[in-house]
A and B are shown apart, each in its own frame.
Chain A
Amino acid sequence: MNRLGFLAREALINLRRNLLVVMGAVLAVFISLALAFGALVVNQLLKINTLAWQDGVHIIAFLHDEGLAGIPNGAHQALVAEVTSWDEVANVFYVDKAAAWAEYQQIFADRPDYLNIDPSVLPASARIELTNIDLYRDVQFRLASESQLIRRVETFGEQIEQLSSLSTVLNLLGLGLALVLGISAVILIANTIRMAIYARRDEVAIMKLVGASNWFVRIPFVLEGMIEGLIGAGLAVATVWVAFRNLRTLGDSIEIVSFAVPDRFFLTWSIVILLFGATAGVLGSVLGLSRYLKDEDGSRPISAGARVLEPL
């Protein structure tokens, strides 16, 4: 216990002595992990929103009015019944002209100038939910065969597809960015550790001279890297939390986008990010020490005034 305390103290002294270099390493970890965590949150947001869209109406078929252009009364209901029977379709809601007008009034409630229209111009529609969003092209194609009855078909499949591919691209970008920045953070920590070893070369030589084992010499440096990684990761987690909380408050006024990323998601990934930061720190330290990790072969003297680094 006493030994552990001594090693931890040595690590903290290391950190204090190389404050500027340490700050550089901490910043590198912070930036890389904040970007990685941010990308994860954005990806989760996209997922939540595309899922919300996927759960809703996927296709709207706007219909010509019955009783006009040779369209008999009851044609709309017949179409709804037929489409409902298709395997690709989960549900069909029929919105008649009156309901369309009511919906229109609701949407533009705050724009009275938009309400000065003839309600009869609004068409009835069939709102279709698919069993699988990927089938939207098949359904669109089948509806086209009812061209006499259908005025226009709107699908959200393309938008959902675009969102999905955007999510994939963002995911890959975030992953790539996190990887590159993660590697650079590890290298920077390795560099910090090397500089710390160089700054403490006399101390290291003396420690070995009085019989400190190689691991006893190495542990403070490993702890130092771990602390740097943890501080960087902690800052990244805190920044993303704060940024997202502000975004969520801001996003409350935007109804079409959901910012409801669950706290559980944040908590889980915060732990992962912290662990990653600590691991990156340890990895950087081990990398920094690697040149000096070899056990002593006794080939380098700690002579008076020697400025040669002994292998740790």
Chain B
Amino acid sequence: MIRLREVTKVYEGGVVAVRDVNLDIQKGAFVFLVGPSGSGKSTLIRLLLRQDTVTRGTIWVAGKDITQLPAWKVPFLRRSVGTVFQDFKLLPNKTVGENVAFALEVLGKPRSVIGPQVQQVLELVGLKDKGDRYPRQLSGGEQQRVSIARAFVNRPPILLCDEPTGNLDPATSVGIMRLLDRINRSGTTVAMATHDHAIVDAMQRRVVQLEDGRIIRDQQSGRYETEHVVEVDGSVAQ
């Protein structure tokens, strides 16, 4: 579903955010991207969304090389990739229902389709009675649920989440993770950047650990940190 080969991103001023990253994420997988701030997690998410372009290397999403994607085709890529962010990115002057419908309206879906689809996804995220409320009238956890509903409303095969629980308390975070897990079980590939130890440890899913832009660990059913990782001459061994 997602494949990165020798991907390097160097920002202006020579800052290397990601270097020589090779990564394969299978269809339907749930992958945590972990590591400290500045390790390259968010840059990877941005590269997958084509918000940034690679300096070197190739990225395939759903079989397409997105590094060669012409600019006018980028919106089509984004329609097949849902995104959830730490700051929710909701439109404050639109209701919950309108925020979710927004994702379908920009795709030109008819109203007859938008209405039921929005209701369905609001039910999935547990907000079916709050469609008429504005984001400011919701708690942080509820706002993040709206954000997930908007990302998932057109059933994208991939969901990218950048610190979705970063602004939430642990109890609320668990609710959000349950929701993401449910979405993943429906067949959607989920890649989530986080540095929330508790969540990663509790979920026991694949963990890709980054440090200084490099992958230093790629472990199935892993924990946030492992004491088995030993760096020897720049290589990684367990």
Contacts and interface: CB of A to CB of B under 8 A. Distances in A.
Interface string A203-217: 101111111111010
Nearest to B113: A2
Place the interface of chain B in its size category: 20 to 34
B162 A304 contact: yes
A3 to B, nearest CB: 4
Nearest to B71: A295
Interface string A1-38: 01100100000000000000000000000000000000
B94 to A, nearest CB: 9
Interface residues of A, number: 27
Interface stretch (B48-56, B181-189, B202-210, B212-220): B48-56
B105 interface: yes
Given A202-B91, A206-B91, A214-B72, A299 B52 contact: yes
20 contacts: A2-B111, A202-B89, A207-B106, A209-B89, A210-B78, A210-B79, A210-B83, A210-B102, A210-B107, A211-B76, A211-B103, A211-B106, A212-B106, A214-B72, A214-B75, A295-B71, A298-B51, A301-B52, A304-B87, A305-B87
Nearest to A206: B89
A297 interface: yes
Of the candidates B42, B86, B107, B108, the one having the most CB atoms from chain A within 10 angstroms of its own CB is: B108
A252 interface: no
A303 interface: yes
Interface of A: 2-3, 6, 202-203, 205-214, 216, 295-305
3 nearest CB pairs, A to B: A295-B71, A211-B79, A212-B106
B99 to A, nearest CB: 9
Interface string B178-196: 0000000000000000000
Interface SS of chain A? loop
B150 interface: yes
B30 to A, nearest CB: 22
Pick the most buried of B50, B72, B76, B89: most chain A CB atoms within 10 A of its CB.
B89
Given A211-B78, A211-B107, A213-B75, A296 B50 contact: yes
Interface string B26-68: 0000000000000000100010011111000000000000000
B72 A210 contact: no
B224 interface: no
A293 to B, nearest CB: 12
A303 B111 CA distance: 31
A2 B52 CA distance: 32
A303 B79 contact: no
B106 A216 contact: yes
B108 A210 contact: no
Contacts of A296: 50, 71, 74
Contact of A209 (B78, B87, B105, B109): B78
A43 B109 CA distance: 53
